């Protein structure tokens, strides 16, 4: 059994976003309560916990690990509940150490979806904002943080040096495996991401949960919103096909709403509830399997 420090190296599940905002600052358009520079503003923004998180992530996220997690979780046989019960379940992850907000998970998701809605995007896009972090329930099923959040990347091929802390991949068993450590690895050039296995986490989990219910652009947002090595660094062009490149325009559109919609003013759930109940009923079944 892994020690607690290897399961939860971060003080907060979302602490890894601090590193994202430092690496990829965005314009002020959505961060309307405070400046971008103020977000994730800890006394020491380059904390050892973030580095340790990525050391564990890069060491343990192997091709075999991913395939095992797909087998373990994509049967969706752990819980079945309405989405509103799922949000209550997710709220157990609230942590006072988040410097950006003391709101619960549903309120954060509502802030994301409301920012999308205010800009006049389609209602399925609003729904993506509402559900995009729902896969973090993996932590409540006993998954370590490094298997729930963090930058995602393809497994089964060489790790790009554009991934954060690439030096930690030297401890990953796949790094020395000639089947997996070449540019294309087990994949064919420009095979399309639909044929590529990504590191395991909340992105892939919620995508698989929603893949029968949301239009394809929204599914790309869910599945690849943490794939920064590609949508910010373009490090895996050799695996993408033309369809991926077209869909990634939607991923790029979504990400600022995810990163910069937090503010200290809680949404008025009483006022918003009828809209979101109708939206969920339009696209999703009465209960979801987890």
CA terminus-to-terminus distance, the chain: 24
pLDDT at site 105: 76
Place of tokens 């003080």: 11
pLDDT at site 290: 97
Contact 223, 204 (CB under 8 A): yes
Q: Any bridge partners for residue 154, and if so which?
A: 198
Contact 290, 86 (CB under 8 A): yes
H-run or E-run covering 27:
none
Q: Which of 106, 58, 126, 88 is nearest to 284 (CA)?
A: 126
pLDDT at site 209: 98
Burial pattern 186-211, b for ≥16 Cβ within 10 A else e, equals: bbeeebebeebbbbbbbbbbbbbbbe
Question: Residue 171: which domain range?
Answer: 4-289
The DSSP 8-state label assigned to residue 80 in this structure reads: E
Rounded mean pLDDT for each run of 10 residues along the chain, 290 residues in total: 70 66 60 48 57 95 98 97 92 53 74 94 98 93 94 98 96 98 98 98 98 98 96 96 98 89 81 96 97
pLDDT at site 262: 73
How far apart (Å, rounded) are the C-alpha atoms in residues 37 and 41? 7
**Domain count across the chain:** 1
């Amino acid at each position: 059994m892994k020690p607690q420090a290897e399961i939860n190296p971060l003080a907060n599940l979302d602490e890894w976003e601090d590193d994202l905002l430092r690496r990829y600052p965005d314009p002020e358009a959505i961060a309307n309560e405070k400046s971008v520079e103020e977000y994730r503003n800890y006394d020491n923004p380059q904390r050892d916990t973030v580095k340790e998180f990525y050391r564990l992530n890069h060491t343990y996220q192997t091709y075999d690990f991913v395939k095992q997690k797909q087998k373990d979780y994509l049967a969706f046989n752990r819980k079945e509940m309405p989405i509103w019960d799922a949000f209550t379940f997710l709220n157990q992850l609230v942590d006072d150490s988040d410097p950006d907000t003391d709101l619960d998970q549903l309120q954060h998701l509502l802030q994301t979806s409301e920012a999308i809605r205010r800009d006049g995007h389609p209602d399925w896009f609003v729904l993506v904002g509402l559900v995009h972090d729902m896969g973090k329930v993996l932590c409540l099923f006993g998954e370590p943080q490094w298997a729930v959040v963090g930058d995602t990347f393809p497994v089964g091929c060489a790790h790009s040096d554009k991934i954060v802390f690439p030096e930690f991949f030297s401890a990953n068993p796949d790094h020395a495996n000639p089947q997996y450590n070449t540019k294309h690895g087990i994949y064919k050039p420009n095979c399309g991401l639909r044929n590529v296995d990504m590191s395991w986490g909340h992105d892939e989990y919620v995508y698989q949960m929603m893949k029968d219910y949301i239009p394809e652009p929204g599914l790309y947002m869910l599945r690849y919103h943490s794939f920064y090595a590609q949508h910010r660094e373009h490090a895996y062009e050799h695996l993408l096909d033309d369809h991926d490149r077209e869909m990634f325009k939607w991923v790029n559109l979504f990400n600022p709403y995810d990163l910069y919609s937090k503010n200290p003013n809680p949404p008025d759930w009483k006022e918003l509830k009828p809209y979101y109940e109708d939206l969920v009923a339009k696209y999703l079944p009465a209960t979801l399997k987890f």
